[in-house]
Structure 1
């Protein structure tokens, strides 16, 4: 299931959720396995990644910042890959995505895209579908102590 899907026909960037990382294991149950997919006429690539519940929360906040016209960095170098999205790149006069994988492949990809109006709302819809499919079922009651939500 797609968490992020940005495409203009020539360039595409997706984050696809594959499922729970360790179903039934309290500490890792809510973590999701995912992959980043990048395609263009010049390059295509795929990176595996894991998403924590906090990654989904920060993605939701990032969408609010994008809607306000601000650039965002989602995730960081510790949680490779790092993803930067610009709602308006001045050089290309379009939205743009920049993906960096400094911790394993050391590859960086920049994709300017002519996105349709409403692209941020579509990303919110995709996030809602992911959260509905894989709701948080575990909470941390104290540091390093996990319990099932009732």
Structure 2
């Protein structure tokens, strides 16, 4: 199926004074739309889960964790490694705007191999 060719290999890097880890992800173009919506929710003070389609791994961000009084990220890789980690964050002002800039760069540089011509119809780019 053609849509499965437009995958982007990505990784999540987690580092703190206590834990460090790396998690490989395969992203679809629609995952970027989901991250864009997640940034909108975070900007409004809400919590997010991404990708939001019951895939593993999963990243959840709490805009304000009451226990730590900071945002907290929870990364869970149940299907492959069975590992999960939660880390309180100290985010600088403008973090969401920086994420939006990075998202635009990824969209611009995405090595798309197929073109969606109509719902459910694809063709190879030439």
Q: Report TM bin, short chain.
A: 0.7 to 0.9
**Runs of 4+, deviation exceeding 6 Å:** none
TM-score normalised per structure 2? 0.87
Q: Does 2:115 correspond to 1:138?
A: yes
State the shift of 1:76 in Å.
4.8
TM-score (norm 1): 0.74
Counterpart selection for 2:4 from 28, 32, 38: 28
How far does residue 36 in structure 1 lie from its aligned partner after superposition?
1.3
* Uncovered stretches (5+) of structure 2, i.e. residues with no partner: none
- Pairing of 1:5-84 with structure 2 (within 5 A): 26-76=2-52, 78-84=54-60
Greater helix share, 1 or 2?
2
Q: In 2, are the aligned partners of 1:86 and 1:95 still within 8 Å (CA)?
A: yes
Task: For structure 1, list consecutive stretches of 5 or more residues without a partner in the other structure.
Answer: 1-24
Change beyond 3 A, Cα 1:135–1:63: farther
Q: How many residues align?
A: 125
Q: Structure 1 residue 119 and structure 2 residue 102: aligned?
A: no
- RMSD of Structure 2 on Structure 1 (CA): 2.1
Cα contact 1:84–1:99 (8 A) shared by 2: yes
Instruction: Give the superposition deviation at 1:38.
Output: 0.9
CA displacement 1:88-119 (0-9 Å, x = unmatched):
11111111100000101111110101111111
Check the 8 A contact 1:99/1:110 in 2, yes or no.
Answer: yes
